[in-house]
Amino acid sequence: MAEFGFTGIAALVIASSFWVVTARNLVHAAVALMGTLFGVAGLYVYLYADFLAATQVIIYVGGILVLIIFGVMLTQRISSAVLLQTHMPNRPLAGVVVFFLFMGLTSLLFRTPWHEGEQVMPESTVTIIGTSLLTKYLLHFEVASVLLLVALLGAAYLSRREDG
């Protein structure tokens, strides 16, 4: 069952990311991205990182993807633009590079001695994440929140009306 589901999710990720790259219409590409993001969330579930999976859905699908679609949709010139490059003089060279990269990664995959540990299902990742965010990684957490605050202020400044 688990292998079955995993194969399905992996296939979804690969197929949808292929569609993202090859789509001629930017909105279609953005929609295909939704499949990829959902698939990645599914992969997280297989890693028992359910909290991370839900976070992936709420932030990437519910937030960032909506913003991407929103932006693409409302910019008329983008949505009608042809994205696929047809004139590609470097195609053979790129093919060679990609081939060697693929070969290297595959060999790495097979030659790595994968350590198979005991399958332990953690009780709940939420508590662990919460505790470590507020103790061990407090500084990182605060720095990230300051960064977000700056971004928020910048967005508010940009969207502000002229008359204030």
- Residues binding other proteins (CB under 8 A): 1, 4, 25, 27-28, 31, 34, 50-51, 54-55, 57-58, 61-63, 65-66, 69-70, 73-74, 76, 123-124, 126, 157-160, 162
Residues 37/65, Cβ–Cβ less than 8 Å: yes
Smallest distance from the beta carbon of 163 to other proteins, in angstroms?
11
Of 24 and 136, CB closest to other proteins: 24
Neighbours of 131 (CB within 10 A): 11
**What phi and psi values does residue 48 have, to the nearest 5 degrees?**
60, 20
Beta carbon of residue 151, minimum distance to other proteins (angstroms, whole number):
15
133 near 145, Cβ under 8 Å? Answer: no
| Complex with other proteins: residue 63 or 95, whichever CB lies closer | 63
In the chain, where does DSSP find H-type helix? 2-22, 26-46, 50-55, 66-74, 76-80, 91-111, 125-134, 138-159
CB of 126 to other proteins, least distance (A): 6
Minimum CB distance to other proteins, residue 160 (Å): 8
Query: For residue 37, what are the CA distances in angstroms to 45, 97, 120, 156?
Result: 13, 27, 26, 28
Of 106 and 132, which CB lies nearer to other proteins in the complex structure? 132
End-to-end CA distance of the chain: 59
- Please, what is the minimum distance in Å from the beta carbon of residue 43 to other proteins? 16
Task: Give whichever of 90 and 159 is closer to other proteins, judged by the CB atom.
Answer: 159
Rounded CA separation 129/125 (Å): 6
Q: Which is nearer to other proteins, 62 or 104 (CB)?
A: 62
